[in-house]
Amino acid sequence: MDKRLLSFGHGFSARALAARLIPEGWHIIGTTRSENKLAEIAETGVEPLLWPGSDPTALIQEFPNILISAGPGPDGDPLLAELHDAFATAASDMRWVGYLSTTGVYGDHQGDWVDEQTPLTPSTKRGQARVKAEAAWQSIPDIPLHIFRLAGIYGPGRGPFAKVRNGTARRIIKENQVFSRIHVEDIALALELSLDAPHAGAVYNLCDDDPAPPQDVIGHAAELLGLPVPAAIPIEDADMTSMARSFYAESKRVRNDHIKRTLGWKPMYPDYRSGLAAMLEQTLQTKG
């Protein structure tokens, strides 16, 4: 296998993947929009690249594996806006292209289950933009595209503990509201398995096995820390930004059977309880 990966929008999930691949001898180039993050990326063993600000066309033609973490903006997918022709030209020579999307493409199902065959009916602008972006990538002839629809991502440095500790966590209650989640290490594992066994055209949901109400996660985090469980606030009484409120506009349980069957993926953290416990343990080890 050609162990070269070009990672566009080298963020939280991509870094977790890189941490798995670099010890296996992979050469990874990761892009960022911020000059301030170049050194930070380099410290992880990934070669940093400022983009926009450089022309990665030659790299697209050279690297057989490409990960796309950058999300769509008001004008659509930023990569395709600038580099569509480069991808179209190199598509037939590529081995694997991974696109990180979101389970928000399914829209609201009032707590019912969805899978990869569920029609895409997003109700938020973010979800609608993702549906358009997925379709735009799928429209490139011969591209070995793999779409990963991610549930709510958490992991080291991204979770409820900080807000619980500083007293800003809130248990907002909306009847029948459930979310699916995914630990970042389980995303990295799935991407690595897909790189090892490409299935061009595949679409995978990535989530754990236990969709749960958001207030349960906050309450459990407080209990793990030995701190008071934040008071429950009915959503009607909650002071929330429009962005925060939009997350409560959709409720669904996401199935992950397809990726388990196809790639043999098994989440290391099958529910938020095991994931939060591991995060807390890691934090204590780091402080120790």
List the one residue out of 100, 152, 102 whose CA is nearest residue 125.
102
The pLDDT value recorded for residue 263 is 98
Which residues neighbour 216 within 8 Å (Cβ) at sequence distance 6 or greater? 272
**80-88: Cβ within 8 A, 24+ apart:** 80/133, 80/136, 80/137, 82/52, 83/56, 83/57, 84/140, 86/56, 86/57, 86/60, 86/61, 87/60, 87/140, 87/143, 88/140, 88/141, 88/143
- Number of other CB atoms surrounding residue 273 within 10 Å: 16
Cα 246 to Cα 241: distance, rounded to the nearest angstrom: 9
Q: Which residues of 53-64 are buried (b: 16+ CB within 10 A; e: fewer)?
A: eeebeebbeebb
CA separation (Å) from 248 to 163, 212, 261, 267? 19, 13, 31, 25
The pLDDT value recorded for residue 244 is 81
The pLDDT value recorded for residue 1 is 85
For the chain, the average pLDDT equals 94
The one-letter code for the residue type at 163 is: K
The per-residue pLDDT for range 262-279, each reduced to its tens digit, is 999 999 999 999 999 999
The pLDDT value recorded for residue 286 is 62
Alpha helices in 116-256 (DSSP H): 125-138, 161-166, 184-196, 214-225, 242-247
The pLDDT value recorded for residue 103 is 97
Q: What is the mean pLDDT of each run of 10 residues along the chain (288 residues)?
A: 96 98 98 94 97 94 97 90 96 97 96 97 92 97 98 93 91 94 98 98 98 96 95 90 85 98 98 96 69
Judged by DSSP in three states, 274 sits in: helix
pTM for this structure?
Answer: 0.95
134 beta partners: none
Please state which architecture CATH assigns to domain 4-155+182-209+253-269: 3-Layer(aba) Sandwich (3.40)
The pLDDT value recorded for residue 73 is 85
Q: What is the DSSP letter of 112?
A: -
Q: Where do the domains of the chain lie?
A: 4-155+182-209+253-269
The pLDDT value recorded for residue 43 is 96
- Dihedrals phi, psi of 179, to nearest 5 degrees: -125, 150
The pLDDT value recorded for residue 287 is 61
